[in-house]
Structures are given as C-alpha cells and as structure tokens.
Amino acid sequence: MKFKKLLIATASIVSASPLLTSVPVFASTPQPVTTTVTVSSDCSSPTAINANPLGRYSKVKLTVAYNDIDDPDDATEGETLHVYDTGNVFDQTVQVDSPTVTFPTFVTPDNDNVYGCVNGYDGDETATITAEITPGPCQPNTTLSGSSWVSQFPTSTSTSDLVDPFRTNANNFIGALQNAGASVSISATYRPPQRAYLMHYAYEIARKNMDPTDVPLRSDVAVCWVHTTSNGSVDHAASKKAAADMVKDYQIVHEPSLTSNHTQGLAIDMNISWSGTMTITDGNGKQVEIKAPRSGATNSDLWAVGASYNVYKLASDHPHWSVDGH
C-alpha cells in the first residue's frame, strides 16, 4: 500500500534492537561455610582465610591453634600469630604454643577479608585457623535498596528499541496519528529486565509483605534488599520502607511482572490526544473519523484503528499498547 510505504519512509525506524533477556539470570545465594587454613607465612605475605570477599554483616567465628613445629619451648623467641580483617573490626595477636582458642563471633563491614600471618616467621611456626562464616544478607559491593535505584537501568522511550515487526507497526500507527493531527507522547517502550526485577521485588516487599531475605539475587543487579540494625539483624521496617520509596518513585500502579511485553520490546506506553474530530487512515488505507472522548486511553474507535496496525490496546492500563493487548 502506498500510504503504508510513506509512513515507513517518514517514521523514525532504526534497525538495531536491544539485546533482550526474557528470563532473569539469578545468582545463587551464598551458604554458610566452614573452612580450615594453614598459616605459615610472614606478615609481608599474609594468608587469606576466606576464599571470597565478605558482604556487610557476615558473621565470622575463628578458632586458632598455633605452635612451633621443631621446638615447642621457644616461645621466648617472640614469634606471634597476627589474625585480622581488612575492615578493622577484628585484630588479635596469639602467642606461640597458646592453647587452642575460639574468638567471639564478629560481624564484618562490606567487602571484608580476613588474614593470618606470623610476625617474625623463621620457618618453624605454623597455625591452623578454622573459620565458620555465615554470609550476610548482602553480597559484597552492593547498594542498599531505595530511591537511588530508580534512575538505574532506565526504560527507553524510543520506538527504535522495539522489536520488528511490532516496531514497524507501532511506527506506522504513530505516523498515522501524527498525520491526522494527534499529539503523541511516548513514556515507555523497551524495559530492561534489570529494571523489571527491581520494580517487581520492590512491589512484592512493599505491597505484598515479602520477606526481603527471600528475594532471589540477580547477578547483574548489585542491590541489597535487606536493611539491618547496627548488630546485623534484619530491619524489616526499614527494608519495607526502602521498597515502598521505590514503588512510589517508579510510579507503579499495577503489579510489575518479571517478564512482559515491555521487557521483550513488544509494548509501548503513549498518551494520545487530539482536538475536534480526527480523521485518520487505518492500517487498511480506510479513512476513519474519531470523535470524543479525545484520548487514546478511552476511545475504543481509536483502539480499533490501532488494531488495524497490529498495535493492540490494554483497556485497563491507560497508556499501554502492545503486540497482543497484554
């Protein structure tokens, strides 16, 4: 059809499309671990006790046995075992041949590491350190939930980020609206799955009372949903408030889905308005008069025109149009 070809030629259509991820990539939740490490090195080259950095509010209990291999009586030589963490929470010195000692559990700051070494190591000292590590609610280098996340992973407002053939159909429909004198304001097209994840679980915590400790981790979103008190216990009220702030700032009306037409590049949110009677060409080349109500949110005659372009209205969601009406 000549009219359709004209719309395709004049509409802003870009061939590139986003990398779409319809299935969230969830990370595994860290589990408690007990590890035993032998320390026989000088403090210029300390031995790491934990294999990976620890997130905030991880709990660590250390049991230390330290002795001199060759001569149990040389404590007077003064070699001492130094056990410490990089967050400056735990720092202990153990004398050689001291009885096995278990230290009180300590709570780590974010991105913490624990090390052991022998001051004045001369080759015949050794220590065995057993660490019982309970990972905290937040993985290392994460940011607590709250309004600061709303600006991350922004939703596109460009039709170039939609996927064909829906992209072409949407551009054709928009072109017809503009040719007919309508005002079209696009508020959302492609929504990154990371943003969908943040919106979904903020809503689940704030509105449906989901326990923040039950939220699955996503490997590409460094958020921590669990706010804590100063001693590391879960602060449910603070966690819920942070999620509620996100729901408010996202302006969420309906429960967000993890996967939707938006995350697949198959939906568009747009406000459409016009004055008087609008005469628009539908997808079959037919001239159609559209009268009141003069809003795309409520005018079923306009919805029918959209359907002729294979762009379908979701009646319950005022700005939402998609490939299948959902």
Q: What's phi and psi for 74, nearest 5 deg?
A: -95, 30
pLDDT at 22 over 70: no
Instruction: For residues 45-63, give the mean pLDDT.
Output: 92
pLDDT at 57 over 90: no
Residue 283, classed as helix, strand or coil, is coil
Residue extents of the structural domains in the chain: 2-25+144-322, 33-134
Q: Tell me, what's the pLDDT at 217?
A: 86
Cβ contacts of 287 within 8 Å, gap of 6 or more = 279, 280, 281
Separation in Å, CA 82 to CA 40, 43, 133, 250, 319: 11, 8, 19, 49, 63
Q: Tell me, what's the pLDDT at 136?
A: 83
Distance CA 296, CA 213 (A): 41
Buried b (16+ CB within 10 A) or exposed e, 110-132: bebbbbbbbeebeebbbbbbbbe
Closest CA to 53 of 152, 167, 138, 147: 138
Distance CA 180, CA 9 (A): 17
Q: Are 114 and 125 in contact (CB under 8 A)?
A: no
Does domain 33-134 correspond to CATH entry 2.60.120? yes
Q: How far apart are the first and last CA of the chain?
A: 28
Residue 23: other Cβ atoms inside 10 A: 9
Closest CA to 176 of 294, 285, 319, 293: 285
Q: What's the whole-model pTM score?
A: 0.71
Residue type, 304: A
Closest CA to 274 of 247, 257, 293, 261: 293
Q: Tell me, what's the pLDDT at 4?
A: 28
The 3-state DSSP composition of the chain as helix, strand, coil percent (nearest 5) reads: 25, 30, 50
Q: Are 80 and 118 in contact (CB under 8 A)?
A: yes
49: left (phi over 0), alpha (psi -120 to 50) or beta: alpha
Q: Tell me, what's the pLDDT at 138?
A: 85
Model confidence pLDDT, tens digit, residues 136-163:
888 888 999 999 999 999 999 999 999 9
Q: Are 29 and 217 in contact (CB under 8 A)?
A: yes
Model confidence pLDDT, tens digit, residues 165-187:
999 999 999 999 999 999 999 99
Q: Tell me, what's the pLDDT at 20?
A: 38
Model confidence pLDDT, tens digit, residues 273-307:
999 999 999 999 999 999 999 999 999 999 999 99
8/60: higher pLDDT: 60
Q: Are 267 and 323 in contact (CB under 8 A)?
A: yes
Q: Are 323 and 261 in contact (CB under 8 A)?
A: yes
Q: Tell me, what's the pLDDT at 25?
A: 53
